[in-house]
Chain A
Amino acid sequence: LAKTTQPISMDSYEGQEVNITCSHNNIATNDYITWYQQFPSQGPRFIIQGYKTKVTNEVASLFIPADRKSSTLSLPRVSLSDTAVYYCLVGPTGTASKLTFGTGTRLQVTL
């Protein structure tokens, strides 16, 4: 499974756009990139998933360059409630896939 590297922590003010970048240099051809959000004392919550280029949903955007060796999660206009740990995961999808969690990025949003 491809290993991921992301910043340990980030700080932002409310209303700003936050971009969290994840490196996955040895991503395989059949690997997808998935981001999860975890609040304290809760299970991780799926945010977004992509394979290449750009994916956008109601929560976030995911930018993936052509070489797929990195990806950027973009959170528009964050609020205090976006304070959480964000995990970037890389791996094949499918019913037998196992997720390997890295250290995650702890995002702290303040006023």
Chain B
Amino acid sequence: SAVISQKPSRDICQRGTSLTIQCQVDSQVTMMFWYRQQPGQSLTLIATANQGSEATYESGFVIDKFPISRPNLTFSTLTVSNMSPEDSSIYLCSVTGLAGPTDTQYFGPGTRLTVL
């Protein structure tokens, strides 16, 4: 089965700085998504990373705060810009198009971000 990895696995950052999170899949995938999971909460979709074009953001999320890139079919990045303590969360990427029942989404291990 395919491997989905994220870097970094965790980080502690100062407010006002930015962090770029990488998601790498060891095979080509159709779709890539970015989610946020705040402490003790469920997952919330941030955006769909579109290959070769601008990401599609969900309500409440904007490109200036969460710029996303997807240069090819195996890689995407999410940047958390101008961070504040409220951005402390686990950030997860997910993919579809891997072998599995009816285009199931598979998730990476997540990146735990703490903003001081």
Contacts and interface: CB of A to CB of B under 8 A. Distances in A.
B42 A95 contact: no
Given A46-B104, A103-B42, A95 B48 contact: no
Interface in A18-42: 32, 34, 36, 41-42
Contacts of A49: 101-102, 104
Interface of A is mostly: loop
A101 B42 contact: yes
A81 interface: no
B105 A95 contact: no
Contacts of B45: 98-100
Interface in A39-57: 41-46, 49
Interface string B38-52: 000011110010000
B66 interface: no
Contacts, number: 60
The bracket for how many chain B residues form the interface is 20 to 34
* Chain A CB within 10 Å, residue with most, of B30, B44, B90, B102: B102
A87 B31 CA distance: 21
B54 to A, nearest CB: 16
A96 interface: yes
A41 B42 CA distance: 13
11 contacts: A41-B90, A41-B110, A43-B107, A43-B110, A46-B100, A46-B106, A94-B103, A95-B103, A97-B96, A101-B43, A103-B42
Given A42-B110, A95-B97, 9 more contacts: A41-B90, A41-B112, A44-B107, A46-B100, A46-B104, A46-B106, A97-B103, A99-B94, A99-B105
